[in-house]
Amino acid sequence: MVALYTTNPGGPTARLVDALADAHPSNRLRAALAAGTARDSGLTETLVARCAVEPDFFVRDMLTWALCRMPAETTVPRLIEQLGSDVEQARSQALHTLSKIGDRRAWPAVSTLLHDPHDEVARSAWRAAVALVPPDGEGELAARLATELGRGDHPMQLSLSRALVGLGESVLPVFGAAATSPDPWVRAHAEATERLCRDPDSGFTVSLEMAKRVAAAGPDM
């Protein structure tokens, strides 16, 4: 186990708990690594709670790794609880971790966040939903995700397109419905996503020029 220097005089678990809140990211990173290596399910609560407030991306990624090493019977119910948190990062990181664990027990709760008003939570929910959708549920999920077409900036739209593409051929019918949308941005986003779905090497572009062209062509293009 990685040596950790903390002010907590308790046993190894107590020292890890202390180190996970250390002021230095490098110490927190080592603590998360040590927690995952130890696979002590008693640390689950601390790891989940830390995910909600950890500011460093690399530490958060290590926290997710550590949670994935714990028994799913312990981690999944606690992560599902986090999906109801008022803290945006708590929901987003729980979704990310659940997508990595891959336990479909989380699907009902994950599916409620597909339209979360916070962009990062919604993006995490889209990725998690594609990973956890039940067999034969891809078509329904595609239809629900399609209602988000046109949302946000370019990275946000690319995230949605990748999620839709990840559902395979079941996503193709949604493009016909999107083509009749009165919103040119929705139609442009759908067009770019369909092109990406049919030709993954084509790249992804939704631009003002494309939206103007789609608008000029009308909803029946």
Confidence check: pLDDT of 218 > 80: no
Query: Given pLDDT bands bounded at 50, 70 and 90, which one contains residue 89?
Result: very high
Q: Which residues contact 81 (CB under 8 A, 6 or more apart)?
A: none
Neighbours of 134 (CB within 10 A): 12
The 10s digit of each residue's pLDDT in 43-66 is 999 999 999 999 999 999 999 999
The 10s digit of each residue's pLDDT in 136-180 is 999 999 999 999 999 999 899 999 999 999 998 889 899 888 888
Confidence check: pLDDT of 188 > 60: yes
Mean pLDDT, rounded, for 126-142:
96
The DSSP-derived string for the chain is ------S--S-HHHHHHHHTT-SSHHHHHHHHHHHHHHT-GGGHHHHHHHHTT---HHHHHHHHHHHHHS-HHHHHHHHHHHTT-S-HHHHHHHHHHHHHHT-GGGHHHHHTTTT-SSHHHHHHHHHHHHHHPPTT-HHHHHHHHHTTTT-SSHHHHHHHHHHHHTTGGGGHHHHHHHTT-S-HHHHHHHHHHHHHHH-GGG-----HHHHHHHHHH-TT-
Neighbours of 143 (CB within 10 A): 14
Structure tokens belonging to residue 148: 């988000």
Check residues 5 and 68 and name the one with the higher pLDDT: 68
Total-model pTM: 0.85
CA torsion angle for 71, 73, 78, 84 (degrees, to 10)? 130
Q: What pLDDT shows up at residue 200?
A: 74
Check residues 2 and 165 and name the one with the higher pLDDT: 165
